[in-house]
Every structure is written in structure tokens, then in C-alpha cells.
Structure 1
Amino acid sequence: MTAPYRRSTGTARGEARRQDLLERVTEDLAEHGLVDFSLRRAARAAGTTHKVLLYYFEGADDLLVQAVDRLRARRIDNSLAVAAPLEGTFAARVRALWPVLIDPRSGHRVLEQSTGLAMYDPARYAKFGREATEQYLPALLALCPPTWSGQRRREVAEMTLATLRGLLLNRVIGADPASVEAGLAALLRCLEREETA
């Protein structure tokens, strides 16, 4: 849907205002999730009106996509800050990511809900799944041992991402926490075997 107002980020001040609004909406999403997200709710969270948001964003979907992207980028940055400096194996680095991925402050509920939207309405929200992969894969590739070939790094990173996504979704839908931890332990064993192969 096209917004009736033009987007404005042509000046440094306009861009700073747009970023401030986006940050406020992102914080609201992290706290309250995607349920009942609307332009009016976003405006209340940002302390402004929906017309002001339409001046800076192309509509509710544009704002939602940008806020989810921001949450995901924050989660990736926090994960890398914990895992990248570790001297251990790839499995140890992935293990170090887990507490960051499930931290409520990471907006994990929203990120998993956005994956659900991509499955529910792919024509409208496919970007959530595709962009998540594009954002997460480089981070996982960076954690792989540098001695691995590019193909091997890509294959292991893809498998790790798919498994972590499944475990995170299981947590959100209320799976037994012990079964989620067992799945994580199995992934880590698999990665340890891969690294020693």
C-alpha cells in the first residue's frame, strides 16, 4: 500500500528523526511482540501520530520490516560480540550464542513470530525469512574455522542456522525446555564431530 505522504530523510535532521522513531517502535516490538501491531500502536509507542510515521516510512509494513531488521541486527551483533572472541571450537562458539539468542531483551519472540508471518503470508512477508538468512549466514560463516573450504563453511553454517531456527521456534511454541536443550546438545555434538573430521 502506498503512503499518502512522501518519505523524508533528505536531511541529517530528518534522518535522525526517522532513526529515533524507528528505535522507539523497535523497542515496543521487542517488549510487546507482533500481536496487534499497527501504525497507530507504533505511533503511540513513538510518541507521535500515524501521519508523522507515514511522513518518514512507506506504511505499517515498511516500518515493521525495518524494526524487525533492526532487532535482528542487534541480536547478531550481540551474538558475535560474545562468540567471535572465543578461542574454542565452532561448537563452543555456537554454544556461546545460545544465551544471547534466547535472551528476552534480544526480541527473540518477535523474530520467531516474524518467521511465522513469512510462512503464513509469503507474498507479503517472505522478506522476513529471506532477509533473516541473509543476515545470519555471514555471522555464522565468520565463526567457522578458517581452515575449512568455503563450501564446507557454507554447508555447516546453513545446517547450523536451520537447526537453531527450529530450536528457537520450539521454545516459542512452548516445547519442553529439556527437549530444546537436548536438541541443542545434539547439534553441538554434530558440530564437534564435523570439526574433527
Structure 2
Amino acid sequence: MNTSADDGSPERAGYRRSAGTPRGEARRRELLDRVTEDLAVNGLVDFSLRRAARAAGTTHKVLLYHFDGVDDLLRQAVLKLRERRTVSAMAAATGGPAGRTLADRVRAMWSMLSGDEPGLRVLDEAIGLAMYDPGRFGWLGREASQLYLPSLVSLCPVDWSDRRKLEVAEMILGALRGFLVESRTSGDAAGIAAGFEALVRALEREEAAAGQDD
């Protein structure tokens, strides 16, 4: 990812941000949509304000009018992709027949998350960037957790305690994130599948134990 100083910021370049008028907000959404689609297709490598401007069909000065520099633009685009991913994952997890177990729901979610649709890979790249430079990009990982955890908590049985829901949601998030990173790095499909089945069995045991505690 190109984060050189020539990407600028509104303060340094002397531009002002959109004032939030309906017309300005509509234009901002249009630009963000175009940049997000470019990010989904081409990933984080060499992402810069100038590349974003080309994708949006405008100039970097116009982008600096609407966004607080390249980091803000990246944050907004990644958030947009994550929201799409969360909606798709939750639709997969909550669809189907009633009475599905948590393990069933996580299996359906994983089937969607492990695909190779545009936008999925770049979100996994974002976690790698957060690990590479946590001082600048740690928010890529933190914001992912803040977005996904409530959704995972909502998949847990309603009669579980809040603490149990959070603990299990954290386990699911950590495991699935690890599997995704592994799939993008080693490509060990057999090993990932084995690990996922172990996660499913752990969830089945957790549900069985919770039932015995009632």
C-alpha cells in the first residue's frame, strides 16, 4: 500500500471537506462506491489517493474535499466492504430451516466467508496490514472485531448468559480469522477443513454442556 506523503491531507493541502449538504453527501457516496469497487477488485497493494482518484474518475483534490486523506478514504472503503460481508455472512447463518444449532449456523457462515468473491480477499489483506504496522493500521483489526462480534453473539442461543455468548463469539471470531489467514497464506485446504471440523465439534460440545447446565 502506498502511503507516501504526496497523498496529502485536507489540512496540509489546503482543501476543506464536504459540508454535509445533501448534494455533497450524494457525491461523497458516489465517490466512495467507486473507490470501494476498485479496492474489492485490486486489493490493498499500491492503494493510494491517486489510484483512488483514477478509479473514481476524478482528481485527488476532489477526494481531499470529501475525505480526510488516504487513511480516511481507506477506512471508509474497508468499512463498506466489511458491512457487505457481514450482511452476507449473517444471511447465510440465519437462513434455512428453524431450529438450526450454532454449529450449523457457523458452518453456513464459513461456506460464504471462505469463498473468493471480490472484496473478501482484501478484507483478509487488511488484517495482514494491521499486523504489519499496528501503530498505523491496527484499527483495521480492531474495527473488524467491533463489527463482527455483536453479530456472532446474536447467533448464540438466547438462553445463554451474556458472558457465555461473548466467550463463544470470541472463540468463533479468532478461529475463523485464523482459518482465513491460513487459507490466504499456506493454501492448506485439508488442514483448514480439519481445523474447522474441530471448531464445529467444540461448538456442539458447548451447546450440549449449556443444555446440561440448565
TM-score when normalising by structure 2: 0.88
Distance 1:108 1:136 in 2: 14
Q: RMSD across aligned C-alpha pairs, in angstroms? A: 1.2
Distance 1:31 1:103 in 2: 14
Q: Which amino acid aligns with 2:167?
A: E
Contact 2:43–2:121 (Cα < 8 Å) also in 1:
yes
Are residues 1:163 and 2:178 paired?
Answer: no
Are residues 1:42 and 2:49 paired?
Answer: no
Give the match for residue 114 of structure 1: 126
Distance 1:166 1:89 in 2: 22
Displacement of 1:99 in angstroms is 2.1
1:32 corresponds, among 27, 42, 49, to: 42
Distance 2:109 2:60 in 1: 37
Distance 2:174 2:144 in 1: 11
Displacement of 1:115 in angstroms is 0.8
Larger Rg: 2
Are residues 1:123 and 2:130 paired?
Answer: no
Distance 1:151 1:17 in 2: 43
Q: Tell me, which stretches of 5 or more residues in structure 2 are unaligned?
A: 1-7, 210-214
Percent identical among aligned pairs is 59
List per-residue Cα deviations over 1:154-189 (Å, max 9, x = no partner): 000001000000000001113311111111111111
* Alignment size in residue pairs: 197
Contact 1:71–1:106 (Cα < 8 Å) also in 2:
no
Q: After the TM superposition, which parts of structure 1 deviate over 6 Å for at least 4 consecutive aligned residues? A: none
Displacement of 1:106 in angstroms is 5.3
Are residues 1:52 and 2:52 paired?
Answer: no
Distance 1:9 1:26 in 2: 22
Distance 1:179 1:27 in 2: 32
Distance 1:99 1:52 in 2: 40
Give the SS at the match of 1:133. Answer: helix
Are residues 1:2 and 2:6 paired?
Answer: no
List per-residue Cα deviations over 1:76-135 (Å, max 9, x = no partner): 011111212343000100000012212322512111111111111111111111100000
Give the SS at the match of 1:184. Answer: helix
Are residues 1:93 and 2:105 paired?
Answer: yes
Distance 1:80 1:101 in 2: 10
Contact 1:75–1:106 (Cα < 8 Å) also in 2:
no
Q: Which amino acid aligns with 1:125?
A: F
Give the match for residue 193 of structure 1: 205
Are residues 1:146 and 2:158 paired?
Answer: yes
Displacement of 1:147 in angstroms is 1.0
Q: Tell me, which stretches of 5 or more residues in structure 1 are unaligned?
A: none
Displacement of 1:17 in angstroms is 0.8
